[in-house]
Amino acid sequence: MQSAEPIIELVGLGKEFRTSNGPIKALDDINLSIGRGEIFGIIGLSGAGKSTLVRCINYLEEPTSGTVLFENKSLSDMRPRQRRFARQSMGMIFQQFNLLAQRNVLQNVCFPLEIAGVQKNEATKRAMELLEMVGLKDRIKAYPSQLSGGQKQRVAIARALATNPKILLCDEATSALDPNTTKSILSLLKEINKTLGVTVVVITHEMAVIEAICDRVAIIDQSHIAEVGSVADIFSEPKSKIGRQLILGEAAEHVVKFGNSKRVRITFDGRSSFEPVVSNLILACKVPVNIIHAETKDINGTAMGQMVIQLPEDEVDQNRILNYLKTAKITHEEVKDYGI
């Protein structure tokens, strides 16, 4: 959980890249405070500046303007050696894992400890502890090419924790993983935050990731922070246009009209009463339907009855829904009079 004490503060942060076509502003006047011990999310569309932002936090990219404060000390005012020491307190994991192909799992986790000058036996002991934590103690001799994506990311997490960081920066850490693996990695990050007290900063373009793990979130749009707040507050009432787009999807920008459009009767004649037919339809087709009438009963776990839904006016949306109903083998018919 977040403490009142900030571990990272960004004050007026800006970053420009020089190109042959002139300067490009990647970040502009970013002001953020990340509390010690919280899981903080930064979300935005591709090109919004979120990856540049996380690299400015640990000075892999040097900001053009503004200040990064780590534990109330300005990274820009530090000498190179002090900055390297501060950076050791910020572990980082990436979308593509960035493991060393010629080193096995144990050697990959030991690598940052070698750079820090830790003796081999101590480094090995620490690496083994971390690999047990991430559930890979039995794969210490395996090489990255022999691991699944989820296992690679677990090795990367163990490596990032090797130097006992106070912050773990996660740059699209689950984007290359399937949904089930993503869920397990997010659970692991949450457990690390809880047991080790490590502050976790999650960079992502997926609202589901923010919802699953984060305490607070900042939404970045076109190099600016659009809004910041608790995940609950922003999900329930996004104030920015980009917030509504990310949370509500296309429906935020496109009002679906019904008018006097087609009506379809769905007949329930033997499906499990636990199957969310209408919810699945809406999720699959990504358009809402209007429920006009419903009369269903649960008879020994089986749904019996019928429901009349109204389809959107848009013909493409209608066809998408009708094709879904046909493919899913859901009994249905178009009706003119929806009285039962």
47 phi, psi to nearest 5 deg: 85, 5
Q: Looking at residue 260, what is its pLDDT?
A: 81
Output Rg (C-alpha) for the chain, integer angstroms.
25
Of 125, 122, 109, the residue nearest 161 (C-alpha): 109
* Chain centroid, CA 223 distance in Å: 19
Q: Mean pLDDT across the chain, nearest whole number?
A: 87
Task: Identify the weakest region by mean pLDDT among 202-216, 240-254, 291-305.
Answer: 240-254
> What per-residue confidence (pLDDT) applies to 335?
86
pLDDT at 272: 60
Residue 260 tokens read as 């006097």
Q: What percent of the chain has pLDDT over 90?
A: 49
pLDDT digits 0-9 by tens, 38-78: 999 999 888 888 989 999 999 989 999 999 999 999 998 99
pLDDT of residue 185: 93
User: What are the structural domains of the chain?
Assistant: 6-250 (3.40.50.300), 263-335 (3.30.70.260)
52 — phi, psi (to 5°)?
A: -65, -40
Q: Beta 167-171 vs 90-94: how paired, if at all?
A: parallel
pLDDT class of 340 with cuts at 50, 70, 90: very low
pLDDT at 208 (0 to 100): 85
Element (H or E) spanning 228, and its range? strand 224-230
